[in-house]
Structure 1
Amino acid sequence: MQARLTLEDGRTFPCRSFTGPGEASGEVVFNTSMTGYQEVLTDPSYSGQMVTMTYPLVGNYGVNDEDVESGRIQVAAFLVKEYQPFPSNYRSTQSLADYLAGQNILGVEGLDTRALTRHIRNGGAMRAIISTTDLDPESLKRRANALPSMVGMDLAREVTTRRAYRWTAGKPELLGDELTLDARVWRHRGDRPSVVAIDFGLKYNIARCLERVGFEVLVVPAETDASAILATAPDGLFLSNGPGDPEPVVYGVRTVKDLLGRLPIFGICLGNQILGLALGGRTYKLKFGHRGANQPVKNLKTGKVEITSQNHGFAVDMDSLGTDAVEVTHINLNDNTVEGIRHRRLPAFSVQYHPEASPGPHDAAYLFDQFRAMMKTK
C-alpha cells in the first residue's frame, strides 16, 4: 500500500505500508542496531517517536512473547528498508507485520533509510508524518510543522505504571490500587536488600538485572513522592530510563532532591538526566541523539572503553555541573557528551547509556554490582 513520509523541513520519502492503511506522526529518529527490533519497539524511551532501522533487512526472525521491554509497543511508527514477511526462527510466534498491526502501529518499507538517516544526521531529528491516505507533500509538511516539539514534553507521565508492582521471578506482580505500602507488604519473601525503582519508562530487563544481583524490586509510579518511598523502608533507590525531555519531570527531580543522602541512588538514561538536574545541572537536546548498540564510552576512572547500547535524545550539560560536588565519570567518545556522573560525597551515581541492554553489549553490567555493593550487608 502506497505511503509517504514527510519531514517538517519538507523533505519527503515515498514508501509503502506493510501493516495496512494508517497514519502516524512524531519525531523521526534512527537506530543503528543490527538486531533487537522487538526490544526497540517495546522500549518506553521511544514513546512519541517514529523509529528508522539503519540495518536494511528487518522481520526475518519474527517476534515472540518473551523479548519485550514493556507491556506494549511504544513507538509511533516503524520504518525499514526491506520487510521480511516470512520469519525463520524457532522462537518466533508471530510475524512482525501481524505484531504491529495487532496494536495499530504503522509499519512501512521501501523507504530509503540511508538517505533519511543522512538527512537527520545533517539536519537533526525532526517532526514528521507518515500517511497512506494523505499523499500530498505540502499538506503533510504543514501538518508536521503543527506537531508539538519533543522539547518541553513530559512523556514519562504517559508511560509510567499506574500501580506499584513487585518484580518477581522475571515478571511484574501488581500489589494494589494505592501506594499505601510498607516493608511488611512487599518484603516478606526474604532478607535481600530492597530497592524502589521509580518508573519513568522502565525497561523490563533493568528489573531483571536488579533482581539478578540480589535485590527485591518494588516498581512505583513516576509521581511517587519521597515520603511514600521512605515508607517502604528501602535500602536503595533506582531511577529508570524514559522518554521525552527531562526538565518537565519536575516531580521526579523534587523526589530525588528529597532523597539525596538518605538512600543510595543509581540512575540510567532519563534517570541520569534527572539526577543531573537534582544536583543543580542543566540538560539540552542533542542534534540527532544516540540510538544503537555500538556507542563507545570511556570510563574516566579506569581508562577503559566500553561499547554500549544507547537510546536518548537529551544529555546533561557538563559545564552546568559544580565540580566541587559532582564528578563526570564517563564520556561519549564520538562527541564527548556526558555519559555518567556521581556525587563526590553522597552515594549517588548514574549513567546515560543502558548497561542492561538485551540484545547488546554487556561491557557495563558491572554497574548493577556496583549499586549492590552500596547497600548494607544482608
Structure 2
Amino acid sequence: MQTISQTANSADLPAWQEPVPTAALVLADGKVLYGKACGATGEAAGELCFNTSMTGYQEILTDPSYSGQIITFTFPHIGNVGSNDEDIESLNLASVNGARGCVMRAEITDPANYRAGQHFDHWLKARGIVGICGIDTRALTTKIREGGLINGLIVHNSTGEFDESAMKSMAAALPSMEGVDLAKDVTTLQMVRWDETPWTWEKGFGQQINPDLHVVAVDYGVKRNILRLLAGLGCRVTVVPGTATAEIILGHQPDGIFLSNGPGDPAATAHYAVPVIQELIASGLPIFGICLGHQMLALALGAKTSKMHQGHHGANHPVLDHTTDKVEITSMNHGFAVDGATLPEGVEPTHTSLFDGSNSGIQVTGRPIFSVQHHPEASPGPQDSHYLFKRFVELMKAA
C-alpha cells in the first residue's frame, strides 16, 4: 500500500504527491493511507468498492445505487473531461444521492472536453463528495478483491493534521451494509411524470410527445437514463415512490410496471416492497426489473439473495443471455446477488455472469415477467443490452 512520506523532498515527488498529506483513507482493518484531498471538506464513511469503468465517472458518482459507498476508481485519470449538468443520474438533480466519496490515483487535471462546463474538483465540492488522490488504487483494488468489501473513511483536512487513533476507531465502528435498507433514503417522495428521451449528438435530450404505452416505474433509486430509454420507445412514464402500495401503482392503469435499481440490502428493502410486488405479479401485467428491482422480484417469487465477496462494479462485465446464446458486455453495480440455486419452479435463469457464474437474470415461465442484474441503460457502459427495453415494450404491446 502506498503512503506519502511526510519527510520526503518535495522536489522529488510528482505534483500530486505533496510532502504534507491533506487527506487520509482509513480502512476498517486499521490500515491508513495518506494522499491529497480533493472535493468537499470533511469526512465520508461507507463501504469501499472498486469500479473498473474508464469513462462515465459523473454518472457513476450520481447513481443512487452507490448510496452508502466510497468508490475506488481503477482508471488512473479521473476528472480529465470535467463535469456538466447533463451526466447526472439521480432523479432529483439537486439531491446528493449517490456515492459518499471517491478514491483516485492521480490528481484531477484541468478539463479537456468540449462538453465540460465545470472543473471536476469544483463539481465534487458542490455535490458534497469527499475525495482523495495519490492512492495506489491498484494495490487497494487487489486488497478488496482478495479480502472482500471493506468499510472505509476518507478524512479531508487541509492542515495535514490527523488523529490516527480516532480515525481508526471511527472506521472500525462503521456498520455493515447487510440488513440496511437504503432505498428509502434515495426514493422520490412524490409522483413524477417523465417524458425526456435519450441524448443525441448536437441535439441533446428530446421529449416524448406522442406515447402509446404507459409504464409505472417504482423508484428504489432509479437512474435517469433508464427512464429516458423507456420514454424513447414510446412510453409515458409515471415514477412513484418505492413505498407506494399496489393499489396506488395499479390505480395509474399502467400497461407495464418497472422495478428500478437502488442501494442497500434487498432483503431489508423487501420487508415493505415484496408484498407489493407479489400483488403486482398477481395482476398479470408485464413487469421488468433491474438490479435491486431484479433482486426483489426474485425474493417476491420465492428465491433468496446473499452478500457478494467483492461485488460487481464496472462497465466491462461479460454476461451470457441464455435466450439468445449471445454474450454481451454489460455495466454492473451491485454488492448483493440472487442465489440461482434457490430459484423456485417456474422461474428460469436467463442471464449468467461469465466472471463468476452468478445469476444475472430471470423470467417467469409463461408470463410477461423478467428482470436482470446488470444495467442495460448503459450510463456509463456499452449498449449491448438496450434490447431488453425493447423486449419489455414488446411484452406490453402483446398484452
TM-score by length of 1: 0.92
> How far, CA to CA, are the matches of 1:366 and 1:21 in structure 2?
42
What are the within-5 Å matches in structure 2 for residues 1-378 of structure 1?
2-19=22-39, 21-70=41-90, 71=93, 72-73=95-96, 74-133=98-157, 135-170=162-197, 192-249=212-269, 250-262=271-283, 263-322=285-344, 324-376=345-397
- Structure 1's 368 and 129: CA in aligned 2 closer, same or farther, altered over 3 A? same
Would you say the 8 A contact 1:52–1:80 is kept in 2? yes
> How far, CA to CA, are the matches of 2:23 and 2:370 in structure 1?
45
- Structure 1's 83 and 347: CA in aligned 2 closer, same or farther, altered over 3 A? same
AA matched with 2:314: G
Q: CA deviation at 1:84?
A: 2.6
Would you say the 8 A contact 1:196–1:217 is kept in 2? yes
> How far, CA to CA, are the matches of 2:100 and 2:380 in structure 1?
22
Q: CA deviation at 1:85?
A: 2.9
Would you say the 8 A contact 1:79–1:109 is kept in 2? yes
Secondary structure of the corresponding residue to residue 143 of structure 2: helix
> How far, CA to CA, are the matches of 1:353 and 1:137 in structure 2?
39
Would you say the 8 A contact 2:60–2:380 is kept in 1? no
> Is the deviation greater in 258-267 or in 277-286?
258-267
Q: Deviations over 1:45-86 (max 9, x none)?
A: 000101110000111110001111012442111111113331
Would you say the 8 A contact 1:5–1:131 is kept in 2? yes
Secondary structure of the corresponding residue to residue 142 of structure 1: helix
Would you say the 8 A contact 1:13–1:112 is kept in 2? no
- Structure 1's 135 and 370: CA in aligned 2 closer, same or farther, altered over 3 A? same
Would you say the 8 A contact 2:69–2:99 is kept in 1? yes
> How far, CA to CA, are the matches of 2:300 and 2:388 in structure 1?
21
Would you say the 8 A contact 2:197–2:229 is kept in 1? no
Q: What percent of counterpart residues are identical?
A: 49
Q: CA deviation at 1:137?
A: 3.5
Secondary structure of the corresponding residue to residue 267 of structure 2: coil
Secondary structure of the corresponding residue to residue 65 of structure 1: coil
Q: Deviations over 1:211-235 (max 9, x none)?
A: 1111110000000010011111111
> How far, CA to CA, are the matches of 2:211 and 2:114 in structure 1?
39
User: Which residue does 1:185 correspond to in 2?
Assistant: none
> Is the deviation greater in 217-226 or in 191-200?
191-200
Secondary structure of the corresponding residue to residue 261 of structure 2: coil
Q: CA deviation at 1:108?
A: 1.1
> How far, CA to CA, are the matches of 1:5 and 1:206 in structure 2?
33
- Structure 1's 190 and 20: CA in aligned 2 closer, same or farther, altered over 3 A? closer
> How far, CA to CA, are the matches of 1:150 and 1:347 in structure 2?
32
Would you say the 8 A contact 2:40–2:129 is kept in 1? no
Q: CA deviation at 1:20?
A: 5.6
> How far, CA to CA, are the matches of 1:37 and 1:97 in structure 2?
12
User: Which residue does 2:16 correspond to in 1?
Assistant: none
Q: Deviations over 1:175-215 (max 9, x none)?
A: xxxxxxxxxxxxxx756110100000000000001111111
> How far, CA to CA, are the matches of 1:338 and 1:137 in structure 2?
41
Q: CA deviation at 1:139?
A: 2.7
Secondary structure of the corresponding residue to residue 36 of structure 2: strand
Secondary structure of the corresponding residue to residue 374 of structure 1: helix
> How far, CA to CA, are the matches of 1:199 and 1:84 in structure 2?
33
Q: CA deviation at 1:345?
A: 2.7
> How far, CA to CA, are the matches of 1:103 and 1:205 in structure 2?
20
> How far, CA to CA, are the matches of 1:145 and 1:348 in structure 2?
42
User: Which residue does 2:202 correspond to in 1?
Assistant: none
